[in-house]
Amino acid sequence: MLRVLGRRIATGILTLFLVTLFVFLLIHLSPGTPLAAAMESEGLTQVTPQIRAELERLYHLDRPLHVQYALWLRGLAQGDLGRSFHDRRPVAEKIRERLGISVAINGLALLCMVLLAVPLGALSAWRPGSWLDRYSSWITYAAYAIPVFWAALMLQIVFAVRLGWLPLAGLDSDGWESMGMVQRTADRLWHLILPVACLSLGGLAYLSRFVRATLLENTAAETALAARARGLSSLAVMLRHGFRQAAVPMLTLAGLLLPAVVSGSVIVENIFAIPGLGRLFVDAAFQRDLPVLMALTLLSGAATLLGILAADLTYAIVDPRIRRG
């Protein structure tokens, strides 16, 4: 078990470095120096050679490539991710002030997905082929194909513009600072309803279809058939035999959905004007802000690898066959 885990972590770390190396090489080997590209995106095309040289020295851009990458790695080991090309602030600081909100949104979306997908999938698996099953199958199938940003736009139009029930965008109302603790939390959650709903839509559809398939498979198994023969109702069989078998793959899948959720949160944060890491990433992409891009690529990769690792771990803990394998 430990050896398997160790190998997983080792390949995970290797993967991470390969990707940062890839991004790094891409930016340095493509025509035009990275600093010039970044400055151009800010409209700074007329810079004296002295200032340019000074800036290049500041960002170590005058050193050979392998030295630059090694310097980046050394900084990383010391918790220093470099400074943004854009506003010269430390990248770690920029990430820290935005990390909380992104983690909250992604976490809430994952939670919603699991909490809603399980009953939804169970309902359709309970009476396969019934009208309930057929309609929910169609709806989840369609929901899976809905682009996140379009869902966001339509929900904004219906719930914010037409009905006025929910805020259009942003994180908190005017006068948030003067509110009490309870009010503040309520206001935050009120603002997060639409973003989280959009973000969980696709995964919810996928997961509930998966729950249905797994439950059907397990309730058709021989043990379940025997339980039916003993006189248990179909609902009881599903709850006892189906869920126990299905719980683990569901958790695993939720972990594997993390990359898709992170991709979605980039879009959702942009639409709903939420100052999270997704916004930062898109801004950095526009500004060709290499240090920020590198750090966020590393971070998102680490997050998804941790998700996969956690999924593997739960699998191994619950299923003894895997532990020995």
Partner 1 sequence: MADRGKIPSSLRAGAVLLLVLAALALGAPLLATDLPWIARDADGLSFPAFSAMLTATSGTLPDGAESPILAAPIPHGPNRVDLRSTLVPPMSGHWLGTDDLGRDLAARVVHGARVSLGVGFLSAAFALLVGVPLGAWAGYRRGWADFVVSRAVETVLSFPTLLLVLAILAVASGWLARLSDVTRLALVLGLTGWMPIARYLRAEFLKLRESDMVSAARAVGGSDLRIAWRHILPSAMAPVLVTAAFAVGAAIGMEAALSFLGLGVRPPHATWGVLLADSREQIDRAWWLALFPGVALFGAVLACNLVGEGLRDLLDPRSGRR
Nearest distance from C-beta of residue 136 to partner 1, angstroms: 15
CB 200 within 8 A of CB 151: no
Taking the C-alpha atoms of residue 159 and residue 163, their distance in angstroms, rounded to an integer, is 5
Instruction: Return the structure tokens found at 13.
Output: 């770390």
Measure Cα distances from 318 to 251, 311, 323 in Å: 11, 11, 9
Binding mask 159-198 for partner 1 (x = CB under 8 A): --x------x------------------------------
Closest CA to 264 of 281, 251, 248: 281
Contacts with partner 1 by CB under 8 A: the residue count is 53
Among 42, 259, 315, 322, binds partner 1 (CB under 8 A): 259
Alpha helices in the chain (DSSP H): 2-29, 34-41, 49-58, 65-77, 91-126, 131-145, 148-155, 181-219, 222-229, 234-237, 243-256, 258-271, 277-287, 290-318, 320-324
Tell me if 304 contacts partner 1 by CB under 8 A. Answer: yes
Binding mask 23-62 for partner 1 (x = CB under 8 A): x--xx--xxx----x-------------------------
**Which range binds partner 1 by CB under 8 A, 61-69, 114-122, 139-147, 184-192?**
139-147
Closest CA to 72 of 16, 21, 11: 21
Taking the C-alpha atoms of residue 213 and residue 34, their distance in angstroms, rounded to an integer, is 49
Binding mask 203-242 for partner 1 (x = CB under 8 A): ----------x--xx-------------------------
Among 282, 313, 318, 322, binds partner 1 (CB under 8 A): 282
What residue ranges bind partner 1 (CB under 8 A)?
A: 11, 15, 18-19, 23, 26-27, 30-32, 37, 141-142, 144-150, 153-154, 156-157, 161, 168, 213, 216-217, 259-260, 262-264, 266-267, 270-271, 281-282, 284-286, 288, 290, 293, 296-297, 300-301, 304-305, 308
